[in-house]
Chains A and B, each alone.
Chain A
Amino acid sequence: MFTSDSIFENRRFLIVDDFQGMRAMLREMLKTFGSKNISVAASAKEAITYLEQSDKYDAVLCDYNLGPGKNGQQVLEEAKFRHLIGPATAWVIVTAEKTSDMVIGAAEYMPDDYIIKPINEAALRSRLEKVIAKKSELHDIEKAIFAKNFNAALSLCDKAMGSGKANNEILRIKTNLLLDIGRYDKAKELFEKILSVRDVPWAKTGWPKWPSTWAKWKRRSGCSRKSSTKIAPTWKPTTG
């Protein structure tokens, strides 16, 4: 049922939690999955220290509530802003409850997933495998876009989608990409296909009013290729 241990074996993990019982539990679970490289931080401050000093972690499991000081979302924002984590680093927030932080906010500062406590071992493993795999796919797409290999990026998008999978995120990237490269016909087709089934908010607002000037406007406004997989405008996180 589970993928081979190497997805955990060769990756570096960071656990951040203010509760000792949780730290111990998560560490044991990761060890059971085959992880050999696990750092454990007990506070936001300690987490930042680890992130500053080490080579990029592959995955971070961070509690939302870290006691006094910054919360897990703020640690993520600081880590992203200061490039303490790479574009392929998966960030999962472990939380007692879903907060608005997980739903609204700038796209590039959102966690890759959130897990609600209590944590079930099998569910954690399954989630981590999926998040790590998806992050890897997204990173490949992003690299292709950055290198202007648009056709490669498009086919990577198609490869990442599958029946029975939640494809919205990839579809969003694909529509954005199609618009960027001027394939308005294909983009429109995709938007209409999505909207025929469901009133998905991003699809409703995604189709620009004047598509023919879309590419020109983007160039003029200086939107860099690097951020083209994310939809939200550039935004500075609230640190301190």
Chain B
Amino acid sequence: MDNQETQPNITAFFASAMHDMKNSLSVLINFLESYHTVLDENLKNKVAPMLYEVKRVNNNLVQMLAIYKVGNEFYPFEMTENSIDEFVSEIVMHNQTLLDDLGVTLELDYDKDMTWYFDRELVSGVTSHALNNAMRYTHDKLRLFITNEDGYLVIRVEDNGTGYSASMLDTGNAVNKGVNFASGSTGLGLFFTSMVAKLHKHRGKTGSMALENGGKFGGGCFVLRLP
């Protein structure tokens, strides 16, 4: 009597489905990014929102999968040493097309000699999500500011938009405290971020996230702290 043969392996299904979806998304994103260089202004303006939407789908997939794996305790969490310069370069590469299309300038502020220990995939996911979000709400400037503060790596994504609403700030605080007010896509991104922050622990310190208004431009600030 072998029950294992009749029980579907959910994880295997997910892995296979993820493989398929990521392949499709890769082709889509690659197409949209490579054609944008040859399109005229009029068409570029139509393509940019499409690229934004496709990236959102990808980000949501990444977040959902990570949450599923962490929730079931089989996410291969790995605190590796990362060059901050490389980390930032890759984030910029992944977002450059969209930034250009939306006419947003990204200011970078970090120490090129810095390295830090964190799970590269998760933190890239969080930072990309924050950037994509900020691109939507900013006026025309973004700043990625990474620094070492009191033994924490602090990653800040600041925009020059009108800032977060009071309810948004409340949601940010609530999610960080572990109380989930929001649902839907806003909730997903924040929950994912908070989860990633909390996974990072070192010598009694734990990561955290925050939403604030202020920063260099006086707009919205996304803040991630990692020990």
Contact = CB atoms under 8 A, between A and B. Distances in A.
Interface of A: 19, 21-22, 25, 65, 96-100, 102-104, 116-123, 126, 130, 163-168, 198-200
A120 B94 contact: yes
Given A22-B23, A97-B15, A126-B90, A167 B81 contact: yes
Contact of A119 (B21, B26, B65): B26
A130 B87 CA distance: 13
B115 interface: yes
Contact of B89 (A98, A102, A126): A126
Interface of B: 15-16, 18-19, 21-27, 29-30, 33-34, 58, 65, 74, 76, 78, 80-86, 89-90, 93-94, 96, 112-115, 117, 121, 202-203
A164 B23 contact: no
B80 A166 contact: yes
A97 to B, nearest CB: 5
A73 to B, nearest CB: 13
Interface of B, helix, strand, loop or mixed by DSSP: helix
Contact of A65 (B15, B78, B93, B202): B15
Contact of A22 (B26, B80, B82): B26
The main secondary structure of chain A at its interface with chain B is loop
A96 B117 contact: no
B96 A122 contact: yes
B55 to A, nearest CB: 9
Contacts, number: 92
A86 B75 CA distance: 32
B113 A164 contact: yes
Given A100-B74, A163-B113, A65 B83 contact: no
Contacts of A116: 121
Contacts of B85: 164
B18 A97 contact: yes
Contacts of A103: 76, 78
Contact of A168 (B81, B113, B114): B81
A100 B65 CA distance: 14
Contacts of B25: 117-118
A171 B85 CA distance: 20
Contacts of B113: 163-164
A58 B114 CA distance: 31
A98 B65 CA distance: 10
B216 to A, nearest CB: 24
Contacts of A100: 74, 76
Nearest to A123: B93
A21 B94 contact: no
B64 to A, nearest CB: 11
17 contacts: A65-B19, A96-B15, A96-B18, A96-B19, A97-B15, A98-B76, A99-B76, A103-B76, A117-B23, A117-B26, A121-B30, A122-B93, A123-B94, A165-B83, A166-B81, A166-B83, A198-B117
Contacts of B18: 96-97
A166 B23 CA distance: 30
A118 B62 CA distance: 11
Nearest to A171: B81
B27 A21 contact: yes
Given A116-B121, A123-B94, A198 B202 contact: yes
Contacts of B29: 118, 120
B213 to A, nearest CB: 31
Contacts of B22: 96-97, 117-118
B65 A120 contact: no
A98 B27 contact: no
Contacts of A118: 22, 25-26, 29-30, 58
Contacts of A130: 86
A97 B65 contact: yes
A121 B89 CA distance: 13
Contact of B84 (A99, A123, A164): A164
Identify which of A65, A117, A168 gathers the most chain B CB atoms within 10 Å of its CB: A117
Looking at B82, B83, B202, the one whose CB has the most chain A CB atoms below 10 A away is B83
